[in-house]
Amino acid sequence: MDLEKISASVKPRNGWQSIDLGILMVRAWWKPLFGSWFLFTLPIFLVINVLTFVNLYLPLFLFWWLKPFFETVLLYYLSRALFGDFLSIRQTVKDFPAQGRIQMFQHLTYRRFSPFRSLSMPVSQLEKLTGSQRRQRISLLLKKVDVKVLGSITICVHLEFFLAIAFNVLYFLFIPIDPMEQNFEIFSIFPNSEGIWSTFFGNLMTYLSISLIAPFHVAAGFSIYINRRASLEGWDIELIFRRIKARYKKEQESRQYLNSINGLNNTNSV
């Protein structure tokens, strides 16, 4: 981690400003973030729907449960891009498997419903801390973070829910007949479909709503994490001292150069 390559301004921020920084990250890097997300998650979503076609709503539940695993690909890109290493979409997905294995069993079991997941995952994935060290680190990071700000990240969950409803309503609005009609089936041209296709498209609308919000959720938690680390470790002060050192070194080199020129002039005059 080279602080001199950091692509964001290092300064103390409150919680809301940290979340704003996360939103700006998504705005700046939306192409690789959404590209990596869809390239990685869409094939898995389709495979889950094919393998679990017996229970039509099981694919959506499984995809939702695996969200911490999928969010890691976004966290991986953000952690590299913030420090000047801008990976391509293909490279991000290619490098991801090694990163995605880190403590993923814990994230998909007893940590699954943690309200601080977006803030605690960088501790596991980036710092690779476990056990008591991880717990102490997270408690330290949460110490001066406004709980209301952390709670505001759960707004993303509500946005996913409302977007899912909106997309599904939009889907039914384009159907020219009453969807509540008995034995209604828009895809009746497919034999023995029995609602499979309409349910699949409903699941697809929910998948899109999750996909649109996920980068903002991950980036908000990551930016709060970065802000707390910067405050605890004095990144802004360290950068100031590094700049002073670099300026002093440059002045010393300039003096040595001038002295060497003066020495040559004196020799020639003699």
pLDDT value of position 250 = 65
pLDDT, residue 2, reads 58
What tens digit of pLDDT does each residue of 114-136 get? 877 888 888 888 888 888 888 88
Residue 192: per-residue pLDDT: 45
- Measured on CA atoms in the order 226, 227, 230, 233, is the torsion positive or negative? negative
Instruction: Name, in order, each residue with C-beta under 8 angstroms of 204's C-beta and a sequence gap of 6 or more.
Output: none
d(CA 217, CA 213): 6
One-letter amino acid of 44: I
pLDDT score at 6: 66
* Residue 115, SS3 per DSSP: coil
Q: Cβ neighbours of residue 201 under 8 Å, at least 6 residues apart?
A: 171
Asked whether the beta carbons of 175 and 144 are under 8 A apart, the reply is no
**pLDDT tens-digit map of 63-109:** 889 998 899 999 999 988 888 788 888 888 888 777 777 888 888 88
Residue 266's pLDDT band (cuts 50, 70, 90): low
State the pLDDT confidence band at 138, using cuts at 50, 70 and 90. Answer: confident
Mean pLDDT of 143-152: 68
Provide the pLDDT confidence category of residue 245 given band limits of 50, 70 and 90: low
Q: Measured between alpha carbons, how far is residue 238 from residues 226, 228, 247 in Å? A: 15, 15, 14
- The string of pLDDT tens digits covering residues 165-200 is 888 777 777 766 555 554 444 444 444 445 566 677
Give the per-residue pLDDT at 182: 47
Other C-beta atoms within 10 Å of 156: how many? 19
Task: Mention every residue, 6+ apart, whose C-beta is less than 8 A from residue 55.
Answer: none
pLDDT (mean) for 247-255: 62
Q: Count of CB atoms within 10 A of residue 49's CB?
A: 21
Average per-residue pLDDT for the chain:
76
Q: How far apart are CA 143 and CA 167, in angstroms?
A: 39
Evaluate if residue 152 carries a pLDDT over 90. Answer: no
